[in-house]
Amino acid sequence: MKLAILGTRGIPAQHDGFETFAERLALHLVSNGWAVTVYCPDFGAPALHESQWRGIRLLHLPVHRDDAVGTIVFDWKSTLHDEAVHPNLQSAKELGFFHLGRPRYPSPPQPSP
């Protein structure tokens, strides 16, 4: 089985909450034979690069801002990259009000004329 974890600052965890959860989940799954990829922001990096940590594949995506806008850009880049690499993979990727580029909440139905 394969799993990609998006929306985290990466592992090993240096923050509480989701990063710690992502690290523990990834380690558990790898120990049970899963292939796990974690997307990590790399502030100021010129290009995407890959590394390994305790059997987990880390994909470092270049991000040029270390603020809220940079986080949104990183999340979007991660989603687009993962979708390009696994176009037919059944997955749930949600970022705020977007789901794979489409509005998450459809417009209300319009009354019939």
pLDDT digits (tens, 9 = 90+) for 57-81: 999 999 998 888 888 888 888 988 8
pLDDT at 96 over 60: no
Cα distance between residue 48 and residue 40, in whole Å = 10
Parallel, antiparallel or unpaired: strands 49-53 and 56-63: antiparallel
Are the C-beta atoms of 43 and 71 separated by less than 8 Å? no
pLDDT at 45 over 80: yes
Are the C-beta atoms of 75 and 95 separated by less than 8 Å? yes
pLDDT, residue 43, reads 87
pTM: 0.75
Q: What is the mean pLDDT of residues 43-56?
A: 93
Q: How far is CA 12 from CA 31, 42, 49, 56, 102, in A?
A: 16, 14, 17, 10, 32
